[in-house]
């Protein structure tokens, strides 16, 4: 993997009532909103032993997660993502999928089979071993960019999780839980990583480990 493709993500857990504090900091430090707010939807996959989940919980330096993502209600453009982390840096392999039927109540096996038929071989090699639907979540995301275009910040709120444990069909309606939690992420290329300490020295939050997939599984599995 080329160094210019690697990026670092720093995450912060907080609550929606502190959103204005973050927005004020962004304005003072010349960040501007670059997209309209989008609703992000994810289907997470794992194996039956929850290997991806356990790798995160154990703090493995080399790990990955697999998800299918779409924005708002646009099911015409879906993105199959393998998000790979190596120590503090990571990258994503993304394959765009079209003409895939997703709806509440669709057979999970039917959906998995359809995805397999759409993916190229290099993606399927991993998906074949981690193709069990474990979790669905969604949230509202806002996007901000620094004036030098080197740092991106996302703010995620209204995080909702849809339990997938008990049914053989996809659940996109019945929420397992809804959080007032807010997740802030700072993202930059590896080449700009050393500038983070200076720029974010007075950032109003303390960095913390976060994974929405792990958080959802913790609550649904009760640990």
pLDDT at 34 over 50: yes
In degrees rounded to 5, what are phi and psi of residue 47?
A: -95, 180
Long-range Cβ pairs for the range 53-58 (8 Å, 24+):
53/134, 53/213, 53/214, 53/217, 56/211, 56/213, 56/214, 57/214
pLDDT at 18 over 90: yes
For residue 194, the model assigns a pLDDT of: 83
pLDDT at 2 over 70: no
The residue-averaged pLDDT of 118-142 equals: 96
For residue 4, the model assigns a pLDDT of: 53
pLDDT band at 163 (very low <50, low <70, confident <90, very high): confident
Reported pTM: 0.94
The count of structural domains within the chain is 1
Q: What proportion of the chain, given as a percentage, has pLDDT over 70?
A: 98
pLDDT band at 50 (very low <50, low <70, confident <90, very high): very high
The residue-averaged pLDDT of 128-151 equals: 96
Q: What is the full DSSP assignment across 38-50? A: EEEEEEEEE-TT-
Chain length of the chain = 223
For residue 22, what are the domain limits?
Answer: 3-221
Compute and round to an integer the Cα radius of gyration of the chain: 18
Burial bucket for residue 83 (CB in 10 Å: 0-12, 13-18, 19+): middle
For residue 67, the model assigns a pLDDT of: 98
CA–CA separation, 189 and 9 (whole Å): 9
The residue-averaged pLDDT of 39-59 equals: 96
175-216 confidence digits (pLDDT tens): 877 778 999 999 999 888 888 888 888 999 988 888 999 999
167-177 confidence digits (pLDDT tens): 899 999 988 77
The residue-averaged pLDDT of 92-121 equals: 96
| Mean pLDDT, the chain, whole residue set | 92
Residue 133 belongs to domain with CATH number: 3.20.100.30
């Amino acid at each position: 993997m080329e160094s210019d493709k690697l990026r670092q993500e720093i995450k912060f857990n907080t609550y929606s009532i502190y959103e204005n504090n973050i927005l004020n900091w962004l304005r003072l430090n010349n960040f501007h909103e670059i997209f309209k707010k989008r609703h992000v939807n994810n289907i997470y996959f794992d194996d039956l032993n929850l290997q991806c989940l356990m790798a995160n919980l154990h703090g493995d330096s080399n790990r990955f997660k697999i998800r299918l993502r779409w924005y708002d209600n646009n099911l015409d453009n879906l993105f199959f993502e393998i998000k790979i982390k190596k120590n503090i840096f990571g990258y994503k392999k993304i394959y765009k999928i079209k003409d895939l039927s997703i709806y509440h109540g669709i057979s999970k096996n039917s959906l998995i089979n359809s995805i397999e038929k759409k993916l190229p071989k290099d993606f399927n090699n991993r998906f074949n071993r981690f193709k069990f639907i474990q979790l669905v979540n969604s949230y509202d995301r806002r996007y901000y960019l620094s004036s030098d275009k080197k740092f991106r910040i996302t703010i995620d709120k209204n995080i909702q999780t849809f339990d997938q444990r008990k049914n053989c069909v996809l659940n996109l309606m019945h929420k397992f839980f809804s959080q007032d939690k807010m997740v802030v992420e700072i993202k930059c290329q590896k080449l700009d990583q050393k500038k983070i300490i200076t720029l974010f020295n007075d950032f109003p939050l303390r960095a913390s480990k976060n994974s929405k997939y792990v958080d959802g599984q913790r609550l649904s599995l009760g640990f």
